[in-house]
Each structure stands twice: as C-alpha cells, then as structure tokens.
Amino acid sequence: MTYNAASKTLYADVRGVSLVNGDLGGVQQMAFFTVDSATGFSAITGPGSFTSKLSGLHLTATSLDYITRSLGLGGLAASVTKGTDFGVLTTTWTVSKAAVPAVPEPQTWALMGLGLVAVGRVRRAAQSRA
C-alpha cells in the first residue's frame, strides 16, 4: 500500500477472482481508498516508535466496482456501500537503530597516514641501497 498525501488517496496492489465473473486480473497501485484525515506522518530521525493514522477511509469508485464484481454483487450492493466510512488504518513503526553514514573515525585517518609514511620510508631505503 502507498499513501499519497497530495491527493489524499491510499493505493494498493489488488487481484480479484470471482466464481461468477472469473479471473478479474490484478491491478498495480489501484486508487483504493480516499482519506479524510492523516496524522503522524513525519521524518524518522532516530530510534523510537512512530504511529501514523489514516481515518475516514472511503472506497473509490474503481475499487468499489472491482470488489462488487469480485463478489458477484449487483448495483444495489454498490449503492448501499457507497459513502461508507471504513474506519481507521493505524500503523506503528519501531526503529531500534538510526542509520549512520559510513564516515571514517579520526583514528582510521591517522593509521592510514602512518601506513603511507612507512611505505615511503621503505621505498626511500630501497632506493638508497641501489
């Protein structure tokens, strides 16, 4: 599922099979629900628990048609269901570690510098013997 805050739409990948209508095929990123309210969406900056909620979920015309065809229901079911609020979708993310960029510590740079000095001395000693 993917939520688009600009269009207030929740998208989903769906696949439908009906005993009445047969295989309805799959749809990638179908506009499934429109959303009245979205809270708790922010950047994750470090460890902790983060909760987001989508409320006021309403089926789009496309998803309602897809569901009624999958279930073999007629137009009456679609008209009864149209406008129904399907509640709240709550997600909680727990982050145990924040991603740390790979930046060498100062000791790494110092050790690399000593290694280069040692290579230079060995090379100079080899040249003076020749």
pLDDT at 82: 78
Q: Check: pTM over 0.85? Answer yes or no.
A: no
Cβ(16)–Cβ(51) below 8 Å: no
Q: Domain residue spans in the chain?
A: 2-100
Nearest to 57 by CA among 38, 41, 80: 38
d(CA 47, CA 53): 20
* Average pLDDT along the chain, 130 residues, taken 10 residues at a time: 90 76 76 92 81 92 84 76 87 80 78 90 84
d(CA 41, CA 10): 14
